[in-house]
């Protein structure tokens, strides 16, 4: 009998949101990067003995060797700790080389926005922030959760948009699409209330540099909590839970998407890591009760456990609104280190992401080789059903 950490929902195999390429890339190809438009591809498995040589910009050489016992790794059966087995980390499409050091470097913009009851103002304001982030060098821009509407069950039905219909039926996503195309950037569009038939969802849309919708994530875990004397909120009064994890290949790497409360569920992040994600993006709006205690803690945990980047973006704090957001949009690195963060006011954070650190940290701490597949297993129900 397998001990399994199981994903909450079983979905149709045709609905698998894993947009990836089957092309193969050699390490020699990494040293001679192709243009950014090439499709993501997979690196060969990390060998038992690994040598890393790097010459940084100061001209100093760095040499590091790790030796692992193949007997120990074999007895642990780490390849069985994931069902289906974990995918190799794909080669990021943003690659630069200098001397003998290959690095994958780009800028991310986190737009912590003030949100008002004026939807037209919110849309125009978000566009201005996206343009400013792009002008400051961001190739990937992340917006907050529910940035076009007040965060309340009363507001969700009023502000909801038909994303699939597009155009005038969804002015918020029409703006995101146009901004991504004109600025030639990738946009993880926070989240907005979505109307689909007779159901409402809390939905995040990802747009590529061509302006096309690459993925749509509906919040999987609804925010239904009751902390007496502090905060009570029941999203399920109006919203329906999404039924599918969402991972998407973009011009800036493979990204796993979650929305706010999704951050609390480590199984989702682990599944994204097993699907080869470089970065997890969580638009969110933690409150003044759980924010100080858990917001940064959970981000660092998801990053350190899975040895990848985690980016979050919150609305700015408005003490006059019915729901008061904690703020503190943040970027965390694959060692669990806070690379950039802010306080609660409206601002735009620009920070650098270097994907070579993901492989470095996974070499320093070889968790992939040390998982006890003989004792436990993570089951990705969606992938398992699609194979």
Concatenated DSSP letters of 233-296? EEGGGT-------EEEEETTEEEEE--GGGGG-HHHHHHHHHTT-SEEEEE---BTTTIIIIIH
Q: How far apart are CA 314 and CA 113, in angstroms?
A: 8
> Sorting pLDDT into bands at 50, 70 and 90, what band is 387?
confident
Can you give the pLDDT at residue 49? Answer: 36
Domain ranges of the chain: 104-385
Cα–Cα distances (Å) from 325 to 157, 220, 257, 286, 290, in that order, read 20, 20, 20, 6, 10
pLDDT at 10 over 70: no
Instruction: Select which of 107, 111, 119, 145 is catalytic.
Output: 145
Instruction: Select which of 111, 204, 205, 260 is catalytic.
Output: 260
In 3D space, the residue among 139, 111, 107 whose CA is nearest the CA of residue 125 turns out to be 111
Cβ proximity of 363 and 52 under 8 Å: yes
pLDDT at 50 over 90: no
Can you give the pLDDT at residue 56? Answer: 40
> Sorting pLDDT into bands at 50, 70 and 90, what band is 91?
confident
117 contacts: CB under 8 Å, gap ≥ 6? 150, 155
pLDDT at 32 over 90: no
Percentages helix, strand, coil for the chain, rounded to the nearest 5? Answer: 30, 30, 40
pLDDT at 90 over 80: yes
CB atoms within 10 A of CB 72: 11
> Sorting pLDDT into bands at 50, 70 and 90, what band is 8?
very low
The phi and psi torsions of 251 (rounded to 5 degrees) equal -65, -10
Compute the average pLDDT of residues 103-110.
88
Cβ proximity of 164 and 199 under 8 Å: no
> Sorting pLDDT into bands at 50, 70 and 90, what band is 3?
very low
Instruction: Look up the CATH architecture of domain 104-385.
Output: 4-Layer Sandwich (3.60)
Compute the average pLDDT of residues 74-98.
83
pLDDT at 157 over 90: yes
User: 184 catalytic, yes or no?
Assistant: no
Instruction: Select which of 214, 216, 219, 369 is catalytic.
Output: 219
User: 260 catalytic, yes or no?
Assistant: yes
Cα–Cα distances (Å) from 23 to 86, 166, 209, 261, in that order, read 17, 32, 21, 34
363 contacts: CB under 8 Å, gap ≥ 6? 46, 50, 52, 64, 66
Instruction: Please name every residue paired with 216 in a beta bridge, in sequence order, or none if there are none.
Output: 205
Q: How far apart are CA 83 and CA 275, in angstroms?
A: 11
Can you give the pLDDT at residue 209? Answer: 97
pLDDT at 224 over 70: yes
pLDDT at 129 over 90: yes
Can you give the pLDDT at residue 29? Answer: 40
Cβ proximity of 48 and 71 under 8 Å: no
> Sorting pLDDT into bands at 50, 70 and 90, what band is 104?
confident
Q: Can you read off the two tokens belonging to residue 75?
A: 């007895």
Q: Are strands 105-112 and 138-142 parallel, antiparallel or unpaired?
A: parallel
User: 313 catalytic, yes or no?
Assistant: no
Average pLDDT score over the chain: 85
pLDDT at 266 over 70: yes
Helix (H) or strand (E) holding 371: none
pLDDT in tens, 338-379: 999 999 999 999 999 999 999 999 999 999 999 999 999 999
Among the residues of the chain, which ranges form H helices?
27-31, 70-76, 119-135, 156-159, 171-183, 266-274, 296-306, 356-364, 367-370, 381-386
Per the model's pLDDT, the better-predicted residue between 65 and 274 turns out to be 274
């Amino acid at each position: 009998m397998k001990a399994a950490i199981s994903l909450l929902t079983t979905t149709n195999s045709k609905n698998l949101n894993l947009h990836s390429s089957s092309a193969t890339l050699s390490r020699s190809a990494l040293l001679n990067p192709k243009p950014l438009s090439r499709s993501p591809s997979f690196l060969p498995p990390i060998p038992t003995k690994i040598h890393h040589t790097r010459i940084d910009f100061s001209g100093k050489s760095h040499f590091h060797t790790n030796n692992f016992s193949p007997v120990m790794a074999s007895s642990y059966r780490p390849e069985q700790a994931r069902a289906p087995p974990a995918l190799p980390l794909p080669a990021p499409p943003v690659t630069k080389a200098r001397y003998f050091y290959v690095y994958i470097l780009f800028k991310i913009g986190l737009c912590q926005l003030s949100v008002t009851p004026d939807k037209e103002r919110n849309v125009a304001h978000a566009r201005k922030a996206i343009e400013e982030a792009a002008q400051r060098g961001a190739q990937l821009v992340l917006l907050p959760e529910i940035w076009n509407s007040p965060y309340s069950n009363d507001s969700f039905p009023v502000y909801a948009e038909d994303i699939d219909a597009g155009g005038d039926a969804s002015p918020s996503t029409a703006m995101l699409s146009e901004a991504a195309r004109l600025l030639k950037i990738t946009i993880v569009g926070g989240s907005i209330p979505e109307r689909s038939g007779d159901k409402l969802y809390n939905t995040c849309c990802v747009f590529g540099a061509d302006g096309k919708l690459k993925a749509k994530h509906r919040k999987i875990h609804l925010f239904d909590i009751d902390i007496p004397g502090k905060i009570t909120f029941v999203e399920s009064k109006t919203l329906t839970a999404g039924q599918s994890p969402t991972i998407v290949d973009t011009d800036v790497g493979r990204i796993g998407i979650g929305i706010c409360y999704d951050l609390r569920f480590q199984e989702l992040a682990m599944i994204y890591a097993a699907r080869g994600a470089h970065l997890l993006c969580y638009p969110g709006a933690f409150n003044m009760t759980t924010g100080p205690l858990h917001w940064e803690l959970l981000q660092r945990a998801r990053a350190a456990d899975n040895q990848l980047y985690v980016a979050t973006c919150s609305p700015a704090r408005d003490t006059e609104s019915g729901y008061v957001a904690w703020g503190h949009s943040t970027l965390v690195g694959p060692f669990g280190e806070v690379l950039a963060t802010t306080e609660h006011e409206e601002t735009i954070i620009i920070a650098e992401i270097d994907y070579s650190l993901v492989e470095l940290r996974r070499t320093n701490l070889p968790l992939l080789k040390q998982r006890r597949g003989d004792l436990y297993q993570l089951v990705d129900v969606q992938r398992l059903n699609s194979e």
